[in-house]
Structure 1
Amino acid sequence: MGGGSSGGGCRRSFLPHSLRARTTLGVTGLALIFLTAIGAGANFLILNRVQAQIFDEAERVAVNWGASLQPGSTRQPVPRTRIDLLQLVDSRGRVVTASAAAAGRPPLSAVRPPADDRIQARTECSGPGGCVMLAAFRVPQPESSGLRPDEPRFVYAGMTRPPILTGYLLQLLTAAGVLLGVALAAWVNWWAAGRNLRPVETIREHLSDITVSDLSLRVPQPPGCNEYALLVCTVNRTLARLDEAVKLQRRFASTTSHELRTPLTGLRTRLEEAVLYPDDVDPRETVREALSITGRLETIVDDLLVLARLRAGTPAAHEPIDLGALVVQEAAAQAGDVPVHVHVDRDVHVRGNRIQLVRVLNNLLANARRHAGTMVEVTAERADGQVVVTVTDDGDGIAPQDRERVFERFVRLDEGRRREPGGSGLGLAISRDIAQAHHGTLLVEDTPRGARFALRLPIQQEPAALADPARR
């Protein structure tokens, strides 16, 4: 399988897919640009420095030797520096005296510095032996007394231009240094990127071993608290949540199939009896029982669809709701022999979906009336920035070990099965999911007698209260 396929739909690109190769390519390009600029600048500075040193030295030698000449002197100069080409030339261009290296050579230059600019530096390439870097110095007249004013003398001091200024040795050495530096930068980045990305490869290998059938595996936690450790920690938490979700889904599928199989089996049994024993079975009774079982199946399916939408996080339209008025309305709509006493504070407002909140209140009220002995008490009040709705009955209550189990799907306690044999066991599970979808909670709280369900939702101030600071 090619690299593009293994990457899970990677788009084609001229760049390599490997992050290690990409970073190395980028660092190599930047290093090449950076080092080339540095090399070019260094090469320019070195050449200028060498040339400036030669000219400075030539000027110094020319001035010192010209100043040491006596009138009529023709002594041969003896250079003690690398400036080995020395000549004294008269106004007619004749060499009066010269160093050993410059003996027999024509004048090194034809330049004649004027009296107001006695010394000039230049490079002459007209003579044999290559280009000469020299300084031309006009010997001052006071220093040459005895000579006619119209016969000045000139000193030329210089040297053959060195190879560093004539060839490409420096450029070649600079280019070699740049290439070596680029290669070193590329190798260091390749090694460092491989070392830094090694934990990512380890994470990838372990994740590839994890399948849906076995989500219990975890990625080994690396030491330290760097980005890789935080990534592994997040991955393991995600795997734990996924493992728990899959387990819940499997339990839900198993429980759902069992809950649906029971009424379907009963329905099939009734229909088969009506077909096999038409003389012994009352058709009207069979149809009546079949409709009853079908109604229970419909209730279970509707509740399952509601749960699926809530668990999928499907957004529902929210609006400001006077929860106190809604509690009073739903409590009055509950018909039955058990009275419902309602105590509601004023201005108890929340933001939520009216249909979903009505379903929660109906589930809690129906559950309380089913288990109550003589009465049901409902309250809605503010507490700690929340709206708290409690539904309390005076029945047998719920054991502490069962107070969380009652919110699980298809869980029905023995008392609930006895009082309502046809229930689906999904009402409280749906109610809790609705509460959580509204950023609230639904719990069973302690009470001296019976059972108390407490629904807590974030409070929302009325528009008038928001506009009037005095009411805050």
Structure 2
Amino acid sequence: MSIRPDRCLFFSNSIQARVTLTVAAVSVLVVAVITVGFCLLVRHRIEAEIYQETRRVAIEWIGSMEHGRIPPPAPTARVPLVQLVDSRGQVVAAGPMAGDRPLSTVRPTENHFDDVTECPEGKPCIMLTAARVPMFQSREFWQGEPHFVYAGTDQPPALRGQRLELFSALGGVLLVVLWTWTTWRATGRILHPIDTIRQRMSEITAHDLSLRVPQPSGQDEISRLGRTANETLDRLESAVTRQREFAAVVSHELKCPLAGLRTGLEEALLFPEIDAREAIARSLPAADRMQRIIDELLTFARLRNTPSSLEPVDLGALVRAEAAARTTGVPVRTRTEPDVLVLGNRVQLASVVTNLLVNAQRHATRQVEVSAQRAGAQAQVVVQDDGEGIDEKDRERVFEPFARLEAGRRLDPHGSGLGLALCRAIAVAHEGSLCLEDSPHGAHFVLRLPLMTG
């Protein structure tokens, strides 16, 4: 009979099959040891009880031989075979069931007992104890000729042949089969949810991330696996959705300056009377806007969880330097504490402060306030303007890439909408945060970074 290759592959790759085979092999070993031990224990226990009784019968009969009189044998229900045999093998006295032939040819020495099993040809085996009559009794009755007493019984059916071993082995096989079958079913039940999760995961594609895997109830490993898989799919779907939205917004933002640039160039080609240098000069602002958007996109894409070129940065000194560089626009008033040290990238942190100051000056009426101070285990930079402020419903939206409010479009029509998104990405990369908080007037930006320790 040949074995199909696909079935061999299933057993080699299936956890259920491997676990079942392993348990079967271990159970065979364990059951074999238990079966052998059980057989030895049972056999020893039965033999010990029988030989104890045969010895008692033999000793009592020998002890009753005194005063020149040999009493008849006294067999019992458990020891029906009792004989007295001389040194020549002649039966001197015997019980009614012992017969006239010696039960054994064993000749033990004085004060010694031999427990033997005799199996005459064509007859059931006999378990008996052979005992030698003491010397002083032999002199009294037979002038010193050795005589022997045999007391025995038929071998119990459980010990005949290999019945005990056969039935024990059969029970062991049934136990192994039951154990293996139970393991196969239990492993299948345990792995069934995993197989269901695998099948559902195979149905999920990049075009449809809305499917979720079945989530078993409970708190075991498989339940946690299902929850983790669904949480991962949620994050993946959100990330893909954001990526698609981001790509759409990028395409839209680049399409406008590209269209203006193409229009100007096509106009110069279609109308020879238009001065080429003048047409190129009109197209340069669109090209500059495209370059600025692309540069900011590259910076946004290069940010990772951990910024490069880390060094101790004094946020107070950094804020003072960036505020001093803002010589145009509304004045900037600074308030800083000494030694507000963080571990980060100086250039990136400076760009955050600069972006926040530029944004605040654009929306401020008379003044911008910026402070750098300690707040527990964090460094805190606060940029406050006295402008119109931002509605609470738009406080998170302003940090989205290319998101621009109406006031921002009016005050900076050529902006890309990536400045605040870059600022937040830099803050997150430094294990910090950037958010808008409540303020009685104007916008209140708060940058928090972990203080440098040690």
TM score, norm. by length of structure 1? 0.86
What RMSD over aligned residues (CA atoms) do the two structures have, in Å? 2.9
Name the counterpart of 1:159.
153
Answer yes or no: is the 8 Å Cα contact 2:367–2:386 preserved in 1: yes
1:259-274 equivalences in 2 (<5 Å): 259-274=253-268
Question: Is contact 2:340–2:373 with CA below 8 Å preserved after alignment?
Answer: yes
Matched, 1:62 2:55: no
Query: How do 1:442-453 residues align onto structure 2 when only pairs under 5 Å count?
Result: 442-453=434-445
Structure 1 unmatched runs, 5+: 6-11, 467-472
Structure 1 residue 75 displacement after superposition = 6.1
Deviation of 1:271 after TM superposition, in Å, equals 0.1
C-alpha distance in structure 2 between counterparts of 1:288 and 1:215, whole Å: 47
Which of 257-266 and 316-325 deviates more?
A: 316-325
Pick from 4, 23, 28: which aligns with 1:27? Answer: 23
Partner SS state of residue 43, structure 2: helix
The 5 A counterparts of 1:323-472 are 323-461=315-453, 466=454
Q: In the aligned structure 2, how far is the partner of 1:439 from the partner of 1:226? A: 33
Which sits farther off after the overlay, 160-169 or 388-397?
160-169
CA distance in 2, matches of 1:441, 1:377: 19
Contact 2:305 2:430 (C-alpha < 8 Å) held by counterparts: no
Partner of 1:122: 116
Partners of 1:113 and 1:120 within 8 A in 2? no
Tell me, in whole angstroms, the C-alpha distance in 2 between the residues paired with 1:126 and 1:232.
72
Q: Distance in 2 between matches of 1:426 and 1:128?
A: 106
Verify: 1:97 aligned to 2:93, yes or no.
Answer: yes
Structure 1 residue 415: Cα displacement: 2.2
Judging changes above 3 Å, is the alpha-carbon distance between structure 1 residues 108 and 401 closer, same or farther for their aligned structure 2 residues? closer
**In 2: Cα distance, 1:427 partner to 1:160 partner:** 104
How far apart, in 1, do the equivalents of 2:46 and 2:56 lie? 15
How many Å apart are 1:387 and its aligned residue?
0.8
Q: Report if aligned partners of 1:369, 1:393 keep a CA contact under 8 Å in 2.
A: yes
Matches within 5 A, 1:103-182: 103-106=99-102, 108-114=104-110, 117-123=111-117, 129=123, 132-140=126-134, 146-147=140-141, 150-162=144-156, 164-165=158-159, 167-182=161-176
Q: 1:110 to 1:402 in 2, by over 3 A?
A: closer
SS of residue matched to 1:16: helix
Write the deviation string for residues 194-239 of structure 1: whole angstroms up to 9, x where unpaired.
2222322332333333332222233344333333333322222222
Q: Percentage identity across aligned positions?
A: 48
Unaligned runs of at least 5 residues, structure 2: none
In the alignment, the residues of structure 2 paired with residue 414 and residue 148 of structure 1 have an alpha-carbon distance, to the nearest angstrom, of 136
Partner of 1:263, secondary structure, is: helix
**C-alpha contact 2:306 2:430 (8 A) present in aligned 1:** no
Deviation at 1:72, TM superposition (A): 5.6
Tell me how far apart the structure 1 counterparts of residues 207 and 294 of structure 2 sit (CA, whole Å): 27
How many aligned residue pairs are there? 450
Q: Distance in 2 between matches of 1:441 and 1:21?
A: 51
1:83 equivalent in structure 2: 79
Moved more, 401-410 or 284-293: 284-293
In structure 2, how many angstroms separate the alpha carbons of the residues matched to 1:63 and 1:38?
Answer: 37
Q: 1:176 to 1:112 in 2, by over 3 A?
A: closer
Alignment partners' CA distance in 2, 1:146 and 1:390: 125
Q: d(CA) in 1 for partners of 2:30 and 2:350?
A: 70
